[in-house]
Structure 1
């Protein structure tokens, strides 16, 4: 019996969770599902340009596990791009890490989730904040 997978650490929840090819009605689309931790792996490695060793450390997994996660994500993205499929981001086995944030309006520093859509300053409710990390 295989042991359950460890919970992966994710810094940022996605702002957009659905992508579709232009000009194809939703009723005619098939889709691939990318988990939140697969998207985080793509963000860290391909967008941020980090080495896989550092990405694995940030996500609290081994380097071979990170390689499996990123390979699965890239395969799904390639399938969607080449074959005209929609991409849905959902699910997975992850935990959102807290980031050090600072409000641009009132200057408050706090720990919270890095999510541009939902995170607000707990003092003044401003959405104009930045990460201190």
Structure 2
């Protein structure tokens, strides 16, 4: 795990109890990339909160359009983080997910064909 060694903390120190886990977590934020990764994860996770609140408001399970926008932004941020970390599994996974999110937005925003004159929709 490269981010652990760049912070001057190795997993054995944490496991051996030489440092407290809160110290390790807080020291992680001194690395801007770790902060970016946490921010990306927060954006990505926020889509579920938005979906949950929208569903509660309507009383049925729905997926609002903003869910897909948050999915794309969060996934793109996570992909940038994965590229920085040089993690091919993470890069591929986020890239494939983004294509699904974009496709959903294409379907949502696709112009609807108009019914023929005299036909009620």
Tell me the TM-score normalized by structure 1. 0.28
More helix by share: 2
- Greater strand proportion: 1
Higher relative CO (Cα under 8 Å, sequence separation at least 6) belongs to 1
- TM-score normalised by length of structure 2: 0.31
